[in-house]
Homo-oligomer: A and B are copies of this chain.
């Protein structure tokens, strides 16, 4: 975790998602690694997590910067999954 210039806690992390989805009449494996960022209370919660912590996240995708179109998930909702 670090602080923005305005002193807001922020953390950058990566989410690995694996599931199945239906597509064109067949089932397919879905795998996505998504760079993510969270702020304030969510950043502090994530800073206390180990790697491989099971999470459910919601948010919005945004290009990393004006120069980089790489997508970053900005977390707006964070839940820690149980039983994983």
Within 8 Å by CB of A23, from B17, B23, B74, lies B74
Which residues of B lie under 8 Å from residue A19 when comparing CB positions?
Answer: 60
B60 lies within 8 A of A39 (CB): no
On chain A, the number of residues with a Cβ less than 8 Å from chain B's Cβ atoms is: 25
Give Cα A76–Cα B62 distance, bound, in whole angstroms. Answer: 20
Within 8 Å by CB of A32, from B4, B10, B25, B63, lies B63
Q: What 1/0 flags go to A1-38 for Cβ under 8 Å of B? A: 00010001010000001010101110010111110000
Name A residues whose Cβ lies closer than 8 Å to a Cβ of B: 4, 8, 10, 17, 19, 21, 23-25, 28, 30-34, 39-40, 60-63, 69, 71, 74, 76
